[in-house]
A and B are shown apart, each in its own frame.
Chain A
């Protein structure tokens, strides 16, 4: 990896160098891989992706799976399957950084499936970052989650900047007493387009799901948020979509909750609007300019 590649790698790993179990994928090929006693990473045929197997009762392991596209004009489709066995605990940091130096489109489609066994606990961090020519950096992540009884998973996704076009799909099937928490943060600017879709089935008794999406859309960018949550059993779900708009940006929020069981308790909240005037004024009374105040509020909102 060259210097530039190292730099954009750190953008998606929360500034940490991968240690423990990891696989670094650069321009469609695995360039560095390390496994541990508890975490096995097996490459699928023809570099199509990975099988990541986490042993039963693993106490807590960190796994890094960054993807980097630094050559323009590549389309990288990756299939990663995670098998998290009973009562294992893992923290997975994945994501993709694209750097382009021409108008040729670079596309990353990551299809990630999580098979989370009984009692296992997963934290999954996914960061997306783009740098270089406009209209050239395309990210289409698909995440599928299968939670068995008493399993829990927390997903934190962040679209930091430079993502020109993105369709994000998250699907989940949730079992008895299992919990899924999703926190999504998306910033769009210029004429970026991002669509984020959630399809969740609460199948088990006392299953629950909480989706929080915070978005900031500026310039002439567009964001669409769609969620479809089905309460098929005694279950709980809360969906919250909060968006700040600036300039000529557009945001649409289409949250759907479907109760198919009399004890399904499902709520959604959506609010879209400019930054409140009194928030900006308050920060100005503390010496910030209007522009600084706005930036501070957006940074905090998406932190």
Chain B
């Protein structure tokens, strides 16, 4: 379980996150959505420890982790799949998967992990994580690492970005699999309505504030929420 208490983030006199309060439970999937620049990635980075909140506290299973480093939080079970995956000169795809999964995978294991995001082992495992990979390939590798990483809190930042439709459907299926959701909290930052259906709760962030939370169980409520997001966005466009 993850609890955020009064989280604010101010940088250069600009309030990016404004007093966020959230309780996210185990075995549940949460979608965080909202307009570009509303603070979704910033919130994810604050949970991971990449950004330090200006005020507020973060509790992981009732333990205060606000002052823990990125490393300690990762070791305690928080993981984050980046919106824009980081490139490395020198590290191969196999290297990053091994680091992500905390073990040296056999060729068969690597092959299964890569296949789960539609990548061919022979073609990819020894390639470097450099500029030569396409955006969608980078994204698939990032997702493969994070979904196969043992964790209590899994955050995926726009997993659909750059992924083709065919693979996206596989992803939706994977996220709805009870095995995947088991014993952890899943947080997916997304603009994709198709993903809203698999969420237990949808959190709408606007201007750094929680605008609305739609609860699970009431499909109409989810739909309303998704209309709501839509209407809001359509109005601005």
Give residues in A with beta carbon < 8 Å to B: 214, 242, 276, 278-279, 281-290, 296-297, 299-303
Cβ of B29 within 8 Å of any chain A Cβ, yes or no, is: no
Which 9 residue pairs are nearest across A and B when measured between Cβ atoms? A300-B90, A301-B90, A284-B70, A282-B86, A287-B74, A300-B91, A284-B71, A286-B99, A278-B86
Helix, strand, loop or mixed for chain B's interface?
mixed
Within the complex, the shortest CB–CB distance from B179 to chain A, in Å, comes to 22
Q: Chain B contacts of A286 at CB under 8 A? A: 74, 79, 99-100, 145, 149
Contact B90 A284 (CB under 8 A): no
Contact A279 B100 (CB under 8 A): no
Which B residues from 203 to 219 make CB contacts under 8 A with A?
none
Cβ of B50 within 8 Å of any chain A Cβ, yes or no, is: yes
Nearest opposing residue in chain A for B80, CB measure: A285
Alpha-carbon distance between A251 and B92 when the two chains are bound, in angstroms: 26
Alpha-carbon distance between A214 and B102 when the two chains are bound, in angstroms: 28
Contact B71 A290 (CB under 8 A): yes
Q: Chain A contacts of B100 at CB under 8 A? A: 286
Q: Chain B contacts of A300 at CB under 8 A? A: 88-92, 95
Cβ of B120 within 8 Å of any chain A Cβ, yes or no, is: no
Cβ of B82 within 8 Å of any chain A Cβ, yes or no, is: yes
Contact A303 B90 (CB under 8 A): yes
Cβ of B231 within 8 Å of any chain A Cβ, yes or no, is: no
The residue among A278, A284, A303 with the most chain B CB atoms within 10 A of its own CB is A284
Within the complex, the shortest CB–CB distance from A297 to chain B, in Å, comes to 7
Q: Chain A contacts of B95 at CB under 8 A? A: 296, 300
Alpha-carbon distance between A287 and B96 when the two chains are bound, in angstroms: 12
Contact A297 B75 (CB under 8 A): no
Besides the known contacts A242-B89, A297-B88, 18 further A-B residue pairs in the complex with CB atoms under 8 A apart: A279-B88, A281-B70, A284-B70, A284-B71, A285-B48, A285-B50, A285-B70, A286-B74, A286-B79, A287-B71, A287-B74, A287-B99, A289-B71, A290-B71, A300-B88, A300-B89, A300-B95, A301-B89
Nearest opposing residue in chain A for B89, CB measure: A301
Given contacts A285-B48, A286-B149, contact A279 B86 (CB under 8 A): yes
Q: Contact partner of B71 among A214, A278, A288, CB < 8 A?
A: A288
